[in-house]
Structure 1
Amino acid sequence: TQKASADGFTVDVSRSVIEGQAITDDTRALAAEAAEPGADPATLAARGRAVALRAMKYFGSWRKDAAAQALSGTDADVIEYLRTGWDKAVADETRQQVADLATDSPYEAVRTAAAEALNGTDQQIRDFYTTGRHQAANADYRVAVTKLANDGGPGVKEGAKKALADGGTQTLLDFLDKGQYEARQADERVAATQQYNAGGPEVRSAAKIALAAPADQLHQFVEAGQFMAARKDALADTHVAQMQRLIAEGQEIAATARKNSALAAQAAAEAHHASADADKAKKDAEQSARDAAGYAADADAAADRAETSAQQAKASATTARA
């Protein structure tokens, strides 16, 4: 189920975070042991290789390279990795991440602050990456959340307004990173349920599938799928209306023929001075004329329905492609 998939993903992410922290803690603990007098180099190196192997598998970039170099070296290289190599790799990696922010951040304030932070110490750079970048982006975060408060669905708007009322940088960031998507998913489930209750056969079928699917498929249904399904329903309605128009036109022709036949019978009866037969024929002709007019109206109404459905199909297709 969707909930089971989401729960499984959350568990996997949590385990990954825990493993990363465990590697960091184990490396620092070994570094502390390496600084103690009398530490056994062979034992320390063996344990260091084990944690370096974990680091190489888990981390990327600088920490992965540092761990790989230690694993390919001597016991002394591994011990040096524990003492200084790990911290240097972390510092180099953080510096690279801040350098990336200085060029690639979507926020000018962050780009400027990141460029300035690169002139600082390793600790200052680490502090900027941990919290400073978000503080620099506070105004931009507020703009982004304000846009969601104006343009989002009911749940998104409510969550955005609460985040704006709090105003804290972390609160704004949490909403942008996670809260808006949780609120959007709830809004989209409501929207899909409404389509299931009120839509045509194709829309109902697509909505049912979307409601049982993962969040990304539900989002796809709300953004485009519902409109493609509505187009199919509208095209089906167009076909039905066109068939109804053809049937009504055929019935109109038949009723007109009956009217003409009755008028001919009336004329013949009058010619033979058969007043009763003439009256009956006249009434038949009048009824047939009324029938023909009714069928003509039905045909016109069916034609209007066909045109309306065709326009709805076109509009749905346009919306789905937007």
Structure 2
Amino acid sequence: MTAAAAVLALLGPLAAPAAADPSADEVRKRLKTAAHQLEVVVEQYNDLRLEVKRGHQEADRLRARIAPLERTAQARSSEVGTIAAAAYRTGRAANVIGLLHSGSPQALGDKLAMLEALGTQRGRAIEALAAANRDVAAAQEGLNALAAKERTQGAKLLAKKRHIEAEIARLDALRFDLGISDLPPILEDPPALPPGAASAAVRFAYAQLGKPYEWGASGPRGYDCSGLTAAAWRAAGVNLPHNARAQYGAVAHIGRGQLRPGDLVFYYGNIQHVGLYVGGGRIIHAPQHGERIRFDRADYQPVHGYGRPRR
């Protein structure tokens, strides 16, 4: 035993057994998890873009409302200035002073009334202009806050996105080494549907089958989940926001038994995914990074709810 111990000491510690390579199923599972994480980030980024867009629209509405106030105030101010200048040139200001000493109650009352009206009018114009300027300043402050939020959150989301994409690239390489390949997309002709907006949306979705998932995209070469559903309904003349949660807030909510082709199916508790129902218990959707637009069962993931876009 002493001799054996000496030999082991000379040889050094035994090497640990090499970790077994992950199985194809494990690689697929890890890919799916990483891609799902990326989709969450994409929808957060889409939500942030919508928030900033709404801020700009609100500022535009404020400016449109303020512009007439500014023009009115400026016109009144110019009118007051013109009257004052005319009075100075013609000497009417001196006449007013004379009237104050003329002892004529009627002339004095008329002039005081004119001066009071002039002062009130000018005061209102100045106050209107000041209020307009306050509204513009508030809108600009809101815009600046939104821009700062976009820069801060956008940088965080971009950093997270790059981290997840790096993980997906590593797993893609491992999948390639193991010879794992995705099945080709199933292509079909759209079903015969009654003419209308829903039929147009379904036909559009069928025409996108096989195109790649592309984060933040709404076509024509690729789409993310909410980009596909927004584009499908845009082709039908209905505008939907490019964000799954925002789309859920924009549609009429329906039950599972009410589903018709063209309706939307929303997934996960915090609404991270959306697909377009095409009938027969199936959806067409842009699944996630590394995959192509395809069919899936409507209940392929936990369903949050169902919605019908308002025509």
TM over 0.5: no
TM-score (norm 2): 0.31
TM-score (norm 1): 0.30
RCO comparison, higher one (Cα < 8 Å, 6+)? 2
Hey, which of these two has a bigger chunk of helix by percent? 1
